[in-house]
Amino acid sequence: MEFATVHSILTVILFVGFVAFVIWAYSKKRKPDFDEAANLVFDDEPDSEKQHSKREKEHE
């Protein structure tokens, strides 16, 4: 096989892989997982709310 043929086959394989990855990333089945991951930055102190509600109960 010539180098150009191998290069062409590799290009097609990589393109098919890229299209498969894009379809996977934008599928509706993955949306809840990606939405959760996107909101992780806002959830940096998960215990603070529990401590706050615990303090409120102690003061009642």
Q: If you average pLDDT over residues 32-55, what whole number do you get?
A: 73
Q: Quick: pLDDT tens for 13-38.
A: 999 999 999 999 888 888 888 889 88
When pLDDT is cut at 50, 70 and 90, the band that residue 53 belongs to is low
Q: Please identify which residue in the block is written with the tokens 């290069």.
A: 7
Q: What is the DSSP string of 15-59?
A: HHHHHHHHHHHT-TTTHHHHHHHHTGGG-S-HHHHHHHHHHHHHH
pTM (predicted TM-score): 0.55
Q: How many domains, in total, are found in the chain?
A: 1
> Which structural domain range is residue 31 located in?
3-56
